Amino acid sequence: MDALVVLTDLDARTTRAMIAGLQQAVAAGERSLGSKFIEENRGHFWGLIETRPYMRAMEQLAGQLFAEGLNLDAIHIYERMLELNPNDNQGIRDQLLGAYLCADDLQGAGKLLKRFKGDAGATFAWGSVLERFLAGDPTGADVALKTSRQANPFVELYMTGRKPIPRELPEMYSLGSEEEAKMCMDSVGRAWALHKDAVFWLMDRQVAEGSRTIPRKAALKKVPVKGKRVQ
């Protein structure tokens, strides 16, 4: 199955061809594992080595769909992945949150934020700000904004156009670092861009508060980017 994904990556000349090839890889994985095996092992998939090529193919397919703005299709796959692997070893919840917010699915976003409320990453912090704003909860959005700035203040520079959106993602990042902010933009940046009122609200908050300084983050431990080096 991994071979099918690699061949698709080598042969596909268009995004449509890439998606079609990944769909074939996922379908092949389902046939190989069998519906009985999938149902019997739902809930602890990642613990079984033979399931991982299938899960990797699903992740790549969902990522392609999300990148193309096919949010509902991406959501369907991401939700299925969390059913099979609730521990989310692949870290797909960040992309799922972005897809929910892009699709204005506040119920889905709210449930996901609650489910992984212990997540200290920038994506969930800044995704929570947007979720509260879209829910019509200005007080909650203000509280979430304070928390998100503490989690990663660099994200705000990208959100408000004070720094250009990065074209490439880092291989490693530290919590609270600028590298993590780039990963955050990859997950929820599109959702913010789709909701201009939220961006204007954030810019208004900056004006009201005056110029904000970005605290330095020193001696931060580097961790692998989610989904980049999963085995």
Judged against a pLDDT cut of 60, whether residue 37 lies above it is answered with yes
pLDDT bucket at 32, cuts 50 / 70 / 90? very high
Q: Strand pairing partners for 173?
A: 223
pLDDT bucket at 206, cuts 50 / 70 / 90? confident
Rounded average pLDDT over 159-167:
87
Burial zone of 73 (CB within 10 Å; 0-12 exposed, 13-18 middle, 19+ buried): middle
pLDDT at 178 (0 to 100): 94
Secondary structure string (H, E, C) spanning 32-95: HHCHHHHHHCCCCHHHCHHHHHHHHHHHHHHHHHHHCCCHHHHHHHHHHHHHHCCCCCCCCHHH
pLDDT at 11 (0 to 100): 57
| Domain residue ranges in the chain | 1-90, 105-231
**Predicted confidence (pLDDT) per residue in 67-96, tens digit:** 999 999 999 999 999 999 999 999 999 999
Place of tokens 């080598």: 10
pLDDT at 139 (0 to 100): 96
CA-nearest of 84, 3, 9, 12 to 48 is: 84
CB 28 within 8 A of CB 1: yes
Judged against a pLDDT cut of 70, whether residue 214 lies above it is answered with no
Integer-rounded Cα radius of gyration of the chain: 18
Question: What's the one-letter identity of residue 127?
Answer: G
pLDDT bucket at 9, cuts 50 / 70 / 90? low
**Predicted confidence (pLDDT) per residue in 169-194, tens digit:** 888 899 999 999 999 999 999 999 99
Judged against a pLDDT cut of 90, whether residue 148 lies above it is answered with yes
Q: How far apart are CA 145 and CA 139, in angstroms?
A: 10
Residue with the bigger pLDDT between 5 and 105: it is: 105
User: Terminus-to-terminus CA distance in the chain, angstroms?
Assistant: 14
pLDDT at 212 (0 to 100): 56
Residue with the bigger pLDDT between 15 and 150: it is: 150
Rounded average pLDDT over 103-121:
96
Percent of the chain with pLDDT over 90: 72
